Structure formats: C-alpha cells, structure tokens
C-alpha cells in the first residue's frame, strides 16, 4: 500500500513540474503580447459598456489577420504567435 501511495505521489509531483515548466514557457513571448493587447481592448470595451470576448472577439480575428478595434499590436508579434501556435499543433500531431 505504501509503495502505491509513493508511486502516486511521485507521478503527481512529476506531472506538476512538467506542467509548471510548460506554463512558464507560455507566459512570455509573442502570444502573451497579443493576449495583453486583447485584454486592454476588453477593458476599454467594458468602460464603454460593450461586451467583448478576449478569445472570440479579439485573439481569433487577429490570428486570421483581421483588424480589431482598439487593439494596437505589431504585426510581427501576431505572425510570431501564429508560427508558435502552428509549431505547437504540429508537435501535438494535429
């Protein structure tokens, strides 16, 4: 019984450290810049009593090279984010 608990503890600790490394990797970079710009646009929309979704109304259109009102982001950051997302999808096998 002890060995099962120790094994479960080891697996959970290993999984958590792998998750935290992946999370830390995604906290910086071009996609974070795009999300930050979208968060600012959503905050601006809230102050003018408009509803706006970060992902649906901002991030997705930017990834499709569409313009979004109140979002100022360097096209190079959007392109770099798209490339990073495509590489991630290929890595996952999709």
- Per-residue pLDDT of 2-60, as tens digits, reads 555 444 444 554 444 444 334 444 567 899 999 999 999 999 999 888 999 999 999 99
Structural domain includes residue 14: no
pLDDT of residue 2: 56
Does a structural domain hold residue 22? no
CA angle 47–52–57, rounded 5-degree value? 145
Residue 80: give the domain boundaries: 27-92
pLDDT: which is higher, 83 or 92: 83
pLDDT at 26: 52
pLDDT of residue 19: 41
- pLDDT for position 93: 77
The Cα 82–Cα 64 span in angstroms is 9
**pLDDT value at residue 70:** 87
Q: How many domains does the chain have?
A: 1
End-to-end CA distance of the chain: give it in Å, rounded. Answer: 39
Within-domain flag for 37: yes
Question: Is residue 34 assigned to a domain?
Answer: yes
The Cα 46–Cα 24 span in angstroms is 29
Residues in contact with 10: Cβ distance below 8 Å, sequence separation at least 6, in sequence order: none
pTM score of the predicted model:
0.65
């Amino acid at each position: 019984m002890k060995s099962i608990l120790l094994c479960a503890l080891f697996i959970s600790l290993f999984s958590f450290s792998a998750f935290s490394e992946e999370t830390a990797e995604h906290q910086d970079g071009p996609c974070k810049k795009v999300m930050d710009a979208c968060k600012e646009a959503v905050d601006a929309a809230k102050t003018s009593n408009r509803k706006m979704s970060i992902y649906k109304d901002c991030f997705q259109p930017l990834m499709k090279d569409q313009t979004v009102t109140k979002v100022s982001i360097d096209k190079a950051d959007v392109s770099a984010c798209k490339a990073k997302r495509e590489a991630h999808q290929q890595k996952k096998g999709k």
